[in-house]
Amino acid sequence: MQRVELKIKYNRQLIPNIYEMCLEGDVSDIRQPGQFVNVAVDNLYLRRPLSVCDYNEHELTLLYKVVGRGTTRLSLMHEGQEVDILSGLGNGFTTDVPYSNILLAGGGIGIAPLYKLAKELKSRGKKLSVALCFNTESEIFYDTAFKEIGLNDVYIVTVDGSRGHKGFVTDLIRQQQQMFGYFYACGPMPMLKALCQEVNCPGEVSLEARMGCGFGICMGCSIETTKGSQRICKEGPVFKKEDVVW
């Protein structure tokens, strides 16, 4: 973990309430897709955790949904401003798995940590199917970005069927009847639970909780797992499917 000041390269709205922020500076503590950063927001006591969406040697990209005071204030920040960030937090996704046919499933803003993961797995020569799941067409974002990685399949799933496959990711999986060797998912808990029950292969899910410190001290983000109590910010946010107690 490292505390850094990163400079905003751009902060732009993708669709109503969803923003992409690119920051420049020392991001050397970020080592795995699926890790997160904890962002200080002016006049708010608690930092706000956001997943690492993408990174390289000197840039970090975040995707965030405006839901309250912190994310509203973030959305008003502009190019050149500095952001105080705790970087390189948590344990991310395992990228050296010995499987070739892999499913990535993201629900809403939960697609954020899957973007760098998709790039990383693609560079390792994996066959990837990505399911991006939303309530309705007007909420779709980052589909083009995922397609531009050059993945085998990028499926859009909408609950109301206004674009792509109608229903939930589990409906898509049943229709496709593909055999996956491994899966990764991030999104709302009901989606993750249904997916873990439906997919007949090992995998990993990224979980969320309201956080206090973000680095393992306050115990505020503890959950029960098959290995006992674990902190989402420290042992997670990524957990193996078999470790999660639903």
Q: Which residues bind ligand FAD (CB under 6 A)?
A: 36, 48-51, 63-65, 67-71, 109, 112, 208-211, 237
Which one of residues 22, 85, 121, 233 is an interface residue with ligand FES (CB under 6 A)?
233
Backbone phi, psi, residue 225, to 5°: -130, 175
Is residue 109 close enough to count as binding ligand FES by CB under 6 A? Answer: no
**Cα(205)–Cα(75) distance, rounded to whole angstroms?**
27
Q: Which long-range contacts (CB under 8 A, 24 or more apart) does 140-143 make?
A: 140/15, 141/14, 141/15, 141/18, 141/63, 142/14, 142/63, 142/111, 142/115
Q: How far apart are the first and last CA of the chain?
A: 29
| C-beta atoms surrounding 224 within 10 Å | 10
Is residue 231 close enough to count as binding ligand FES by CB under 6 A? Answer: yes
CB 7 within 8 A of CB 82: yes
**Cα(161)–Cα(6) distance, rounded to whole angstroms?**
40
Is residue 48 close enough to count as binding ligand FES by CB under 6 A? Answer: no
Residue in the block written with tokens 């608690």: 46
- Name the nearest CA neighbour of 186 among 123, 136, 142, 125: 142
Q: How far is the CB of 186 from ligand FES (least distance, A)?
A: 18
Select the binding partner of residue 214 from ligand FES, ligand FAD, none (C-beta < 5 to 8 A, by kind).
Answer: ligand FES
Q: How far is the CB of 179 from ligand FAD (least distance, A)?
A: 30
Is residue 213 close enough to count as binding ligand FES by CB under 6 A? Answer: yes
Select the binding partner of residue 49 from ligand FAD, ligand FES, none (C-beta < 5 to 8 A, by kind).
Answer: ligand FAD
Select the binding partner of residue 71 from ligand FAD, ligand FES, none (C-beta < 5 to 8 A, by kind).
Answer: ligand FAD
Q: Where are the alpha helices (DSSP H) in the chain?
A: 69-75, 112-123, 143-148, 169-176, 189-198
Which residue's CB atom is positioned nearest to ligand FAD?
68
In the complex with ligand FES, the residue whose CB is nearer, 128 or 211, is: 211
Select the binding partner of residue 30 from ligand FAD, ligand FES, none (C-beta < 5 to 8 A, by kind).
Answer: none
Is residue 91 close enough to count as binding ligand FES by CB under 6 A? Answer: no
Q: How far is the CB of 109 from ligand FES (least distance, A)?
A: 19
**Cα(78)–Cα(90) distance, rounded to whole angstroms?**
27
Q: How far is the CB of 78 from ligand FES (least distance, A)?
A: 29
Residues that bind ligand FES (CB under 6 A): 211-214, 216-221, 231, 233
